[in-house]
Amino acid sequence: MGDQGKKMRGKAQETVGKAKQKAGEATDSEKLRMKGTADRAEGKARQAEGELGEAMDDLADEAKRSRKHR
């Protein structure tokens, strides 16, 4: 999966986690609320992984361009 896909999947997982948190709060289910919290954290981590991958790709591209100009 590409970096953009990781970011999109992470955002979706974060959104699902937020919904689970709200459902857990509404139904007074600590288990569901905690599962939502975990899903949100994992989603944010996945988004960060995608952003890091994009930054590394950009850095590699910049290094290639600077070598061509020597």
CB 23 within 8 A of CB 36: yes
pLDDT at 26 over 90: yes
Q: According to the model, what pLDDT value does residue 2 have?
A: 84
Instruction: State the burial class of residue 10 (Cβ atoms within 10 Å of its Cβ: 0-12, 13-18, 19+).
Output: buried
Long-range contacts of 53-62 (CB under 8 A, 24+ apart): 53/3, 53/6, 54/3, 54/4, 54/7, 57/3
Q: The whole model's pTM is what? A: 0.79
pLDDT at 65 over 80: yes
> What would the mean pLDDT of 33-57 be, rounded to a whole number?
95
Domain boundaries, the chain: 3-68
